[in-house]
Each structure stands twice: as C-alpha cells, then as structure tokens.
Amino acid sequence: MRRSIPRSGLAAAAGIAVFALLTGCAAGAPAADNDTEPVELADGEPGAAEDTDITVAIPFPDITMYSMYVLATDLGYYEEEGLEVEVITADNVTAAVASGSADIGVESTGTVIEAVRGGVEVDLVSGHYCRQNFDFAVQPDIDSAEDLEGTSIVLAGTPGDPAEFQRARVLAEEGWDLEGVNVEVVYPGPGSESWTEFFVNDRITLQPFYGDDRPALEEAGAEFPVEALRNWANDVMVAGSGYVEENPNTLVRFLRATLKAVDFVTAPAPGEFPENVDEVLDIYEANDFDVEALRGSDSPWVLDGHLACQNLYFDAEAWDTTVETQSLEPIEFDESQLVYLEKAQELLGLDNAGPETLPYP
C-alpha cells in the first residue's frame, strides 16, 4: 500500500513534528523506570483540590467522543468538586501535557505508549474509551477488497497513527484483507468529518467512520461492509508527571466528576439505548454542537456510549493488548499510575473491571 499526505493533512503533520522536537533528545532513552515508590492516598474523601482551574486538551472537537467533559461541566459535577474545567484542542496532546500548556489530555493509547518509550514525562492516569468500533464505509460500486485496486483509501487521519495497523488488522479479520491490494493510503486530517468530506467528494473509496458520520455517508450512497467492535482501549487520559505529583487531590476529584458524567451518558448501561439522550443532546446543542442528525435516532449507539466503560477502565492488560494489536515493541506499564483512578472508583463504589463484550452492531 502506498501512503501520501494530502495538503489538508499538513497541519496535522506539523503537530507530529512538534512532538518529534519534544522527544528527539530522548529518542534513544531507555523505557521509563517502573520501580518508583507507590503513591498512598488517604482514606475517605480527598483533600481540597490543589489546582482548581484545569485545562483539558483534546485532539479535535467531536460531538460525542469528548462529551464527558462538557456534560460534567453543565451538570455541575466539576463545580461540586471545586473545579473549573476548560477544554482546548491541541495539535499534539501529549506534547501539550508534557510541556504544561495543558493539565490533562486525551490521546490515543498507542501514541501515549510511544511517548513513554521516548522518555516523555507523562503519566497515564485513566482510560477514556475502553472499546473501539471498527466501522467502514465504501463507495457503492465496491463489493470486495479487490475492487479497491488502484484507488485511494483512509485508514487513519494522520501518518504514524498506530490505529492504522489495528484497522487494517480488523479489515483482514472481517474478510477485507488489503495485503497485496494496490491502494494509496491518504491522510485527510485527524477528525473523521474530514474523512467523510473526502468520501462524499469521491476522493476515497473506503474510510473508517463514527456514528455522527453515518447520515452524510448514507446520503452519499455508501455501503457498510464491516461493522465490528473490539474490547481494545481506544484512548486514555494523561497528565504531566510533575502535575500528577503536585495535584493528587485535584486528579481524584476531576476523575470522580468525570466518572459521574460517563455514567450519565451511558445510563442505564453501555450497549443499551441511553435513557438521558434528550438531556444530553440539549446540552450538546447549548454548547454549539449541531445535533440535528442525532435527534430522534433509535440507535443504542447514538451517543457512542457503547465505546465507554462506566468505570473509565484501564490496566496492564489494556496496555499490552494495544502493544500487540498495533504491532508496537513491548514495554512494561507502571500500574501505580492508576492510583488516582482507583481512588475515584472506590469513592463511587466502582471497581476497575474490564469491558464486557457487547452485541454489535
């Protein structure tokens, strides 16, 4: 498969360059030392937040993927913890967090693993989405992988995104093996709306998609040959190592409030039709998101709650699965970083159990 970066993907590539500058001096560094002293948190309620103004960095705006922060703000959960949370976008979330321009960030698990390998001083403090949907749209005249010969496709928004390997793997497992097929892999940019724009303008023949992309794809006559769900960590929350050390109570309070928001959006349970859908969509709309395509949907996936675990699960098994499915070099995960998540879970009567397998689609 050939790979090229269209002009619209150059800004995203610039973000990767920023990350390379940050990690270049540590490219040959050994893996992070996992023999650090474990953090001990006091029993009962956390103390007062050390930092009450938190900046959360996300890679791009998305109506559902990063909704837990909008919901936790509008439902008053952060205010209950004495916190104010601002959400920003960053070309490279890990670099933003490591440099201190953001306090907490959401980044793909594979990208975080490679950052840790490179010596970037970030801690993985929580899961974000514990499942990945591998849904693919093709142009109406495409009936098999062989029909893609000589065309352009999207497997990831930016070059170097480890999710590209996972998507190619799932396609092969679902009967759409691209090995030996002469296709050009292009990178329109990190947000799936840019992939869909390429699709509806006949610039690509295959793309991954998410729930809010589907209406536009259906209108363009797309077919959906592969719709699969895997219990693989999608992305995670990270914070700078120094920030974590200085703000333990802030992290516990932030995670507890965020857990409440996840519970609200997924209730009664991931995989079931969300009982709070109307209130959630009203909050999205009040925050200037266009929710017209989601109104009236009877799909249990309308809010992407099936991708979340109500406990924001992450552990060494999720880390190792990412390493294996994204063909990364093995590196050990320091589970002591999850002490803040585990404390927040405990306060809400939750454990850190992994995701259940859901029927899909």
The count of C-alpha atoms lying within 13 angstroms of the C-alpha of 227, restricted to the half-sphere facing its C-beta, is 12
**Residue 44 pLDDT:** 94
The dihedrals phi and psi of 306, each to the nearest 5 degrees, come to -65, -15
DSSP-assigned letters across all residues of 263-326: HHHHTT-TTSPPTTHHHHHHHHHHTT---TTTTT---TTTT-GGG--TT----HHHHHHHHHHT
pLDDT at 63: 77
What is the rounded CA–CA span in Å between residue 281 and residue 291?
7
pLDDT digits 0-9 by tens, 137-190: 999 999 999 999 999 999 999 998 878 999 999 999 999 999 999 999 999 998
What is the extent of the structural domain holding 243?
A: 40-131+233-347
What is the structure's pLDDT at 94?
Answer: 94
Look at residues 230, 253, 276 and tell me which one is the last residue of a structural domain: 230
What pLDDT score does 13 carry? Answer: 36
Question: Does a structural domain hold residue 24?
Answer: no
Number of domains in the chain: 2
C-beta neighbour count of 327 within 10 angstroms:
12
Do 72 and 108 lie in one domain? The reply is yes
pTM of the complete model: 0.83
Least confident range of 6-10, 97-101, 284-288: 6-10
**327 has pLDDT over 50:** yes
Domain boundary among 199, 230, 261: 230
pLDDT of 157: 92
pLDDT at position 307 is 93
| 65 and 200 belong to one structural domain | no
Q: Is the dihedral of CA 206, 210, 216, 217 positive or negative?
A: positive
pLDDT of residue 145: 98
**Burial category of 5 from C-beta neighbours within 10 Å (exposed 0-12, middle 13-18, buried 19 and up):** middle
pLDDT in tens, 120-138: 999 999 999 999 999 999 9
* Higher pLDDT, residue 356 or 361: 356
| Same-domain pairing of 108 and 55 | yes
Looking up residue 156, the CATH number of its domain turns out to be 3.40.190.10
Residues 97 and 241 both lie in one domain:
yes
Q: Which residues contact 79 (CB under 8 A, 6 or more apart)?
A: 73
Q: pLDDT digit string (tens) for 62-110? A: 878 888 999 999 999 999 999 999 999 998 999 999 999 999 999 999 9
Q: Assess if residue 31 is contained within a domain.
A: no
Residue 15 included in any domain:
no
**Where is the domain boundary, 230, 260, 290?**
230
* Residue where the block lists tokens 């700078």: 240
User: What's the confidence (pLDDT) of residue 322?
Assistant: 96
Residues 96, 109, 205, 230, Cα dihedral to 10°? -150
pLDDT of residue 37: 63
Question: How does pLDDT run across 259-271, given as a tens digit for each residue?
Answer: 999 999 999 999 8
